[in-house]
Amino acid sequence: MKVTSEQELAEAIRGANGPLRVQGGGTRDVGRPVAGEVLEVAISGVVLYEPGALTLVVGAGTPLAEIEALLATEGQRLAFEPLDFRAVLGTSGVPTIGGAVAANASGPRRIQAGAVRDHALGMRFVDGAGRVIRNGGRVMKNVTGYDLVKLMAGSWGTLGVISEVSLKVQPAPEAVITLSGRAGDAAQAVALMSAALGSPFDVTGAAARKDGAVRIRLEGHEASVRYRAQALIDGPLAGFEAVLSNPGAPDAWAGIAALAPFAATRGDLWRISLRPGDAPGLLAGIGALGSDWVLDWGGGLIWLATAEGVDTGEAARAIRAALAPLGGHATLIRAGARARAQVEVFQPQPAPLAAISRGLKQKFDPRGILNPGLMGF
């Protein structure tokens, strides 16, 4: 069923007689498969936009492309650079802001600007009992008690269905420079990215590929960006080349946010979060299991494609065994439905944390009808 208003959404959830598979634009088929009636959230449109206050309030079903086009007319943008999973998942829908928030789908700029949840000022959502809940504010952070905005961001529609979200936006930069160089291995790539991120030059992107390519991004006023780029080239990034691009134009960073390096691969795709300095050791530990990888966030995020034909369960055990002493977590982003039904897609939680998660699910979705099982509960 398709809902176009918050009232319709609340009525649909209250009247549900079984599980609901919640979706916005249908572009992020991640998690264990959900058996249930599709609940499509198409609550679209701008509720409030105040460029001077850098705030935007929109319906959860509003396409990201529409939001980005609107912000561009005022020289503004979404700071968190949302990920686009369509190329790697083979989906053809339209990414929506509600889906981006529900997945906390933060792109390369997270290392400097923060995640999606850091830019959500408030939201309205409907819980599993059909109750409309409002938390936070529209033009400033206004939370007393529990910060449900942070809780909902990254909950993948298992606790409630977002109907409206209030966001903090930021001015678009005057210029963007990408510094491109080479590294001999993952350890050298992380060292180069760490040197750039540890500098005073406000790096907004630091990524590397298995083929040795390393990229560093700088944004801001053109004179400042040129100065900072040259300072890095004269310092820790000797030998790198600087390329000036127009803000908003397709570039290497758009490809990273769309996971373009993995669009043509057929193996499973994992998202691994850990301390940047631990990334080279983990990659060495899993060896030939990984056919390709991209390091983002200076090495704090690994996108890992497994070799075609590698058993998903075997890969899950190997990756999580290597990750266990490091304190990170791994999420299976792409695999067949059968494989996703048989393995833990999201990082298994320690017993105390799992108990809290189950308690939250029971509180917000007492009938267990919102995306049941998607995150393992």
Question: In whole numbers, what is the pLDDT of the chain averaged over residues?
Answer: 95
Q: What is the pTM of this model?
A: 0.95
Q: Could you report the per-residue pLDDT of 335-376, keeping only the tens digit for each?
A: 999 999 999 999 999 999 999 999 999 999 999 999 999 999
Instruction: State the distance between the two ends of the chain, measured CA to CA, in whole angstroms.
Output: 23
Among 56, 50, 70, 77, CA closest to 174: 77
Beta-carbon contacts of residue 92 (< 8 Å; ≥ 6 apart): 27, 86
Among 360, 359, 357, 368, CA closest to 13: 368
| Interatomic CA distance for residues 348 and 175, integer angstroms | 42
Quickly count: other Cβ atoms within 10 Å of residue 340's Cβ: 21
Task: Name 87's bridge partners.
Answer: none
> CA of 331: how far to CAs of 59, 274, 275, 321, in Å?
28, 12, 16, 14
pLDDT for res 141: 57
Q: Could you report the per-residue pLDDT of 223-268, keeping only the tens digit for each?
A: 999 999 999 999 999 999 999 988 777 788 999 999 999 998 889 9
Portion of the chain with pLDDT greater than 70, in percent:
98
Q: Could you report the per-residue pLDDT of 80-133, keeping only the tens digit for each?
A: 999 999 999 999 999 999 999 999 999 999 999 999 999 999 999 999 999 999
* Orientation angle between helical segments 186-197 and 279-286, nearest 10 degrees: 160
- Kindly state the average pLDDT of the residues 292-321: 96
**Is 169 a residue whose pLDDT tops 70?**
yes
pLDDT for res 143: 55
